[in-house]
A and B are shown apart, each in its own frame.
Chain A
Amino acid sequence: MDTPLMDEDADLTHMVGGAPSALADNQSVSPVAALPEVLCKRYKVERLLGVGGMGAVYRARDLLREQYGDPEPYVALKALNEEFAQYPDASALLYSEFALTSRLRNSNVIRLYAFDIDPPSQRAFMTMELLKGPTLDQLLAERPDGLPWVECQSIAIPLLEALECSHNLGVLHGDLKPSNVMLAANGLRLFDYGLGQPTKGLLTSLPRLSRSRIAAWTPRYAALELLNGEALAAPADIYAVACVLYELSSGHHPFSRLTARQAKAMEQDKSLRCPANLPPHCWPALQRALAFDPEQRDIDASGLLDAYRAPEPSLFGRMFGRKRG
């Protein structure tokens, strides 16, 4: 483990206003080997694809598949960052993600291949399909005015289907956000169930990520109850997906990129309007999904899906329908 000496702090690169971060707790951890270049004598790590708060995803070449002439012997490989890998139950944490995601057989949820531990380094990792295509954050960066309805609907429906399937099978995602959704060549994929949890009473023998020990979230997509330390439940995923859906239509986050706590304090929900690109018939559902209070967030993935699937009302219907805002 890399424990910087105090006297080298002056040489650490750091930002104005921020001191070099120190280890928070090194009581119950043991040193961990760096991720080897080849894992299990089979997967050659080639490129870093993404970094999360707890893990990193790499592109790796599956040497076995290559040996058998597979023209596309590539996989995505996820390993925990060294900071987390050093905890004694880190492998169990990654296994929990593997077990939860493996339960989900849905064409819009990432397909996992295997969970394994590299014997020499004792590093746990899992392999999964390597996806090619932009993630939603990439798409949003290029489309600051949001997407027209038909395009938005073509993303919203498979995304909500993936979430509906997860919830129906008792799996909560826990960290839904634009960068965890990819528009792969053969369809949308929801991925990174690293903060996922089984619904209460389901999969009780599975190691659970203890939120009291590792409380984690992405600030702008975390529901108020998560920020307040409550356990993950389906409404938190609904809040997160609603933020993503709003962003797809408008090009910007519903609460000016504030956290739910900040937005609630500023009563931002009162000034929230239906994005211009979103048909008004979807707005009541989306607005309910964006409620700060989980009690008022009384809509599930199926309810949102119904709204997004519903045909636009006729002109007559629109004239006498609910007004925007």
Chain B
Amino acid sequence: MAPGRSWRSAGRTDTGKVRARNEDAFLAQPEKRFWAVADGMGGHQNGALASRLIVEHLAELPHRDDVDQRVKDVRRCLHLLNRRLTQELTVTAEQPDPVIGSTVVVLLIEGDHAVCLWAGDSRCYLWRGGTLFQLSRDHSFYEELIQEGRIAPAQAAQHPSARALTRAVGANETLTLDLVEFTVYPGDTLLLCSDGLYQEMSTDTIGRGLSQPSVRLALQQLFELALNGPARDNLSAVVIRQ
């Protein structure tokens, strides 16, 4: 890969057709090779505040050339916000245990070294050589049931709590982030998205969207397809390419 070749990205968030409020937020800083999607949860305005808090705090992180240092910065930032939203949150007697949290998926790249960190079910996909790879694994009850091998995927999907999350920023006193490191090659296209975008879409459809000639066209196609469907949830995506 030619060093210093710039990255392009296009991001968008939409309330969808059913929800009154958009609780998603995204970050696109191609100049810092830094992107994120967060999907908030909680009553009232709480979900929207949580996802915004995460994205705006990530946006302020200083740019550094050292990937390990950047990963540390991201971790420190997300752990601090988790502490704020759990141990330090003022609660009311009416709602002693309020939900104010958010999923997060972060991608950072330096040279050809890419790192993805996440908590929750917002995803990172890689489109390479005509194949779609899901790089993140959802932290959901469904995924846990499958991984434990106790139940078949079709059965797991029927479980009433299938889509409930097992991890998120603001969910537990201790936040555990998952991380995957990989090498990026010319022609790779990456996608960060909330569940509102992928849940009604097949991997083939996502792949076709990502094979569009530009990041803008790819994003446009993915949103058109999602918004032509039921679009019950908020949807957000960032498409990234060199």
Interface residue ranges, A against B (CB under 8 Å): 2-5, 8, 10-18, 20-25, 47-48, 50-54, 56, 81-83, 137-138, 141-142, 175, 177-179, 194-195, 214-220, 229, 257
CB distance A50 to B84 under 8 Å? yes
CB distance A138 to B90 under 8 Å? no
Q: How far is the CA of A3 from the CA of B20 in the complex (A)?
A: 8
Of all A-B residue pairs in the complex, the 3 with the closest CB atoms, nearest first, are A21-B43, A53-B90, A13-B41
**Contact for B42 among A10, A21, A82, CB less than 8 A:** A21
Residues of A within 8 A of B60 (CB): 47
**Contact for B18 among A11, A137, A218, CB less than 8 A:** A11
CB distance B93 to A216 under 8 Å? yes
Residues of B within 8 A of A47 (CB): 56, 59-60
Q: Render B143-185 as a binary contact track against A, CB cut-off 8 A, 1 for contact.
A: 0000000000000000001011110100101000000000000
CB distance B95 to A12 under 8 Å? no
Judge if B201 is at the interface, Cβ distance under 8 Å: no
Residues of B within 8 A of A54 (CB): 90, 92
CB distance A51 to B23 under 8 Å? no
Judge if B203 is at the interface, Cβ distance under 8 Å: no
Residue of B whose beta carbon sits closest to that of A12: B41
Q: What is the CB-to-nearest-CB distance from B97 to chain A, in angstroms, rounded to a whole number? A: 8
12 further interface pairs, Cβ-Cβ under 8 Å (given A2-B45, A141-B83, A218-B90): A4-B19, A8-B18, A13-B103, A20-B99, A25-B94, A48-B56, A50-B84, A56-B49, A83-B45, A137-B87, A215-B93, A219-B96
Most buried by B among A142, A218, A229: A218
Residues of B within 8 A of A177 (CB): 88
Residues of A within 8 A of B50 (CB): 51
Q: How far is the CA of A178 from the CA of B21 in the complex (A)?
A: 32
CB distance B49 to A51 under 8 Å? yes
CB distance B20 to A4 under 8 Å? yes
Q: Render B28-68 as a binary contact track against A, CB cut-off 8 A, 1 for contact.
A: 00000000000111111111011011001001100000000
Would A137 and B90 be within 8 Å (CB), given that A2-B20, A8-B232, A53-B98 are in contact? no
Would A51 and B18 be within 8 Å (CB), given that A15-B171, A82-B45, A218-B91 are in contact? no
CB distance A15 to B41 under 8 Å? yes
Residues of B within 8 A of A15 (CB): 41, 99, 101, 164-166, 168, 171
Q: What is the CB-to-nearest-CB distance from A70 to chain B, in angstroms, rounded to a whole number? A: 21
CB distance A48 to B53 under 8 Å? yes
**Contact for B80 among A10, A23, A138, CB less than 8 A:** A138
Q: How far is the CA of A220 from the CA of B49 in the complex (A)?
A: 23
**Contact for B23 among A13, A82, A142, CB less than 8 A:** A13
Tally of contact residues, B, Cβ under 8 A: 57
Q: What is the CB-to-nearest-CB distance from A235 to chain B, in angstroms, rounded to a whole number? A: 19
CB distance B99 to A21 under 8 Å? yes
- Interface residues of chain A: helix, strand, loop or mixed (majority): loop
Q: Could you name 13 residue pairs across A and B whose Cβ atoms are closer than 8 Å?
A: A8-B19, A12-B41, A13-B120, A15-B41, A18-B97, A47-B59, A53-B89, A53-B90, A81-B44, A81-B46, A141-B79, A141-B80, A175-B90
Q: Which B1-34 residues have a C-beta within 8 angstroms of A? A: 18-21, 23
Judge if B85 is at the interface, Cβ distance under 8 Å: yes
Residues of A within 8 A of B83 (CB): 137, 141
Residues of B within 8 A of A214 (CB): 92, 94
Q: What is the CB-to-nearest-CB distance from A261 to chain B, in angstroms, rounded to a whole number? A: 12
Residues of A within 8 A of B97 (CB): 18
Residues of A within 8 A of B49 (CB): 48, 51, 56, 81
Judge if B141 is at the interface, Cβ distance under 8 Å: yes
Residue of B whose beta carbon sits closest to that of A25: B94
Q: What is the CB-to-nearest-CB distance from B114 to chain A, in angstroms, rounded to a whole number? A: 26
CB distance A215 to B92 under 8 Å? yes
Would A137 and B141 be within 8 Å (CB), given that A13-B47, A21-B42, A218-B91 are in contact? no
CB distance B41 to A16 under 8 Å? no
CB distance B84 to A82 under 8 Å? no
Q: How far is the CA of A162 from the CA of B101 in the complex (A)?
A: 32
Residue of A whose beta carbon sits closest to that of B101: A15
Residue of A whose beta carbon sits closest to that of B120: A13
CB distance A13 to B165 under 8 Å? yes
Residue of A whose beta carbon sits closest to that of B44: A83
Residues of A within 8 A of B171 (CB): 15
CB distance A13 to B166 under 8 Å? no
CB distance B141 to A16 under 8 Å? yes
Q: How far is the CA of A79 from the CA of B52 in the complex (A)?
A: 16
Q: What is the CB-to-nearest-CB distance from A246 to chain B, in angstroms, rounded to a whole number? A: 15
CB distance B91 to A217 under 8 Å? yes
Residues of A within 8 A of B96 (CB): 219
Q: What is the CB-to-nearest-CB distance from B200 to chain A, in angstroms, rounded to a whole number? A: 11
Q: How far is the CA of A52 from the CA of B98 in the complex (A)?
A: 11
Q: How far is the CA of A277 from the CA of B44 in the complex (A)?
A: 43
